[in-house]
Amino acid sequence: MLRELITSDVIRIHSDATDWKDAVSKSCEALIENGAIEPSYVDAIYRSHEELGPYYVVGPGMAMPHARPEDGVNRLSLAITVIQNGVNFDSEGNDPVKMLVTLAATDSNSHVDAISKLAELFMNEEHVEAICTAQNTQDVLAIIEKY
């Protein structure tokens, strides 16, 4: 399931991000490049973060940036971004964030199966750690293929 949405072109590995905004921007790059989202989607994530706080930090070291379908989603998509040195999102107990899984959903239902598989992944500390320490996209794909 995840392998259908997560291909090598939507996996990015960066050593650093200057702050949470830079991390979110990096996490959306591949989806903008492949036409899955519009640049306005990044701004919508920023606005939500500023209004609600880092609600999308889903656990220690993990974030799932997303916005509403009408904020610039062209097709259901996911992207994985690793920030090797981590970045603070002001999410007590969860910083630094090293893995961002950006979700772009076209409606309220199309992404439910993907979220279920991501939840399985997020609960497997060994697999999360393997992604966070991945040196290349193939390392990440090797984990994703299990889901």
Which tokens belong to 60? 């220690």
Condensed to tens digits (0 to 9), the pLDDT of residues 72-109 reads 999 999 999 999 999 999 999 999 999 999 999 999 88
Percent of the chain with pLDDT over 90: 93
d(CA 89, CA 57): 8
The parent domain of residue 89 ranges over: 2-144
Q: Is the pLDDT of residue 111 over 90?
A: no
Residues 6+ apart with CB under 8 A from 6: 78, 79, 80, 140, 141, 144
Average pLDDT for 53-73: 97
Please report where in the chains the tokens 């990015």 appear, as a residue: 12
Residue 60 maps to which CATH number? Answer: 3.40.930.10
Which tokens belong to 105? 């959903």
Clarify whether 66 is annotated catalytic.
yes
Q: Where are the alpha helices (DSSP H) in 69-136?
A: 112-123, 125-132
Q: Is the pLDDT of residue 22 over 90?
A: yes
pLDDT of residue 1: 77
Q: Is the pLDDT of residue 135 over 90?
A: yes
| Tally of structural domains, the chain | 1
Average pLDDT for 10-20: 98
d(CA 91, CA 123): 19
> Which residue out of 14, 49, 66, 111 is catalytically annotated?
66
Q: Is the pLDDT of residue 63 over 80?
A: yes
pLDDT of residue 109: 86
pTM: 0.94
pLDDT of residue 92: 94
Question: In degrees rounded to 5, what are phi and psi of residue 122?
Answer: -60, -25
